[in-house]
Each structure stands twice: as structure tokens, then as C-alpha cells.
Amino acid sequence: MPRHAASSAIAMLAAIVLTGPAAAETASQDVIFAEDGSVAAPLSDRPGDAAEGARIYSDKGSGNCVACHVISTRTDAEFQGTIGPALDGAGDRWTEAQLRGIVADAKRTFPDSMMPSLYKTSGYIRPGDGFSGKAGTEPLPTLLSAQQIEDVVAYLVTLKE
């Protein structure tokens, strides 16, 4: 076996070992949105992890929801934005399916919303390659993975007043 093939096989093995059995995920273009923007079916067959969702929520490099939203209990986040509504009680106001729809593509629930579509890959004007300022090629990688969306949704449903 050529050397590079062997090492890439090892890399693949390592990836499988590290992430566990791959969860079945719904691709961006296959997500079914109801008329009100909600998404009933989970995007991944592995249940969302609320603790991981809380981390993604405030992580600058992934969800960065904290850039625009305040949650009063999140005193761990150094700065919280005021662009969107405070999310205290979001789990009372919205069903899990509605929250999934908002996180996957908020513009289906709130037309023209400033909130980015986190599980969308194409249809952009001058799409970039991340934050490089250079051109990107559609389909772009989604801003959050299917599993990350489920994790964030699992966190949001815990936000009760």
C-alpha cells in the first residue's frame, strides 16, 4: 500500500474513534420547514446535549449567539449583545420544533430577520470563504452542524422563566 494511502486510512480510523459512530444527519437542503418556520424532525438522530449547546451558544468561533442576545443567567459570558430579544424564557415561548426552525433558518420564522441562517449553504450575495474576505464557493459549509443545532435547541428548551 502506498504510504499516503496508509496514513489517510489511519486518519479516517482515528476520526471514527474520536467521534464515535456517525449519527445520521439531515442535509441542509432536505430539512422540512412547516409554514410557520418550525422544523418538527430532529436534524440528527443523536439527542441534543444541552450543556454542549450552552457552550456553543457563547462560543465566538461557532454559535456566537451571545453577539446579539442576552440571557440574564449567563454571567459567564463577558459581553452580551442587544441586537435580538433577550432569550430568558425562550423555552416557554416556543416549542422545540419552533426553536429548531429559528436556529436552523430564522428567516423562515421572522422574514427579513437580521439573525443569520445557521443551517443554510447557498443563495448568498458575494459569499466569502469564512472571514478571509476572499470568495467562497457554494455550497458553503453550514455555520453550525446538524448536531450543533440539536445541542443548541436542547439548551434553549431549558430556558424557562
The footprint of other proteins (CB under 8 A) covers 60, 64, 66-68, 70, 78-83, 107, 114, 116-117, 124-136, 140, 143
| Burial classification of residue 100, based on how many CB atoms lie within 10 Å of its CB (0-12 exposed, 13-18 middle, 19 or more buried) | buried
- Give CA–CA dist 62/73, Å, rounded: 20
Three-class secondary structure of residue 11 per DSSP? helix
Q: By rule CB under 6 A, what string of x and - marks binding of each residue 14-53 to ligand HEC?
A: ----------------------------------------
Give the footprint of ligand HEC on residues 78-97 (CB under 6 A): 83-85, 87, 90, 93
* Least spacing, CB of residue 141 vs other proteins, in Å: 9
* Least spacing, CB of residue 17 vs ligand HEC, in Å: 29
- Give CA–CA dist 36/38, Å, rounded: 6
Binding residues for ligand HEC, rule CB under 6 A, total 25
Which region, judged by CB under 6 A, interacts with ligand HEC, from 6-14, 19-27, 115-123, 124-132? 115-123
Q: What string of H, E and C letters represents the secondary structure of 96-121?
A: HHHHHHHHHHHHHCCCCCCCCCCCCC
Q: State the cell numbers at 126.
A: 458575494
Q: Does 120 bind ligand HEC (CB under 6 A)?
A: no
The CA-to-CA distance between both ends of the chain, in Å, stands at: 60
Cα Rg of the chain (Å, integer): 17
Residue 65's binding partner out of other proteins, ligand HEC, none, with CB under 5 to 8 Å set by partner kind: ligand HEC
Using CB under 6 A as the criterion, which residues of the chain lie in contact with ligand HEC when the complex forms? 57, 63-65, 67-69, 83-85, 87, 90, 93, 99, 102-103, 106, 110, 113-116, 118, 152, 156
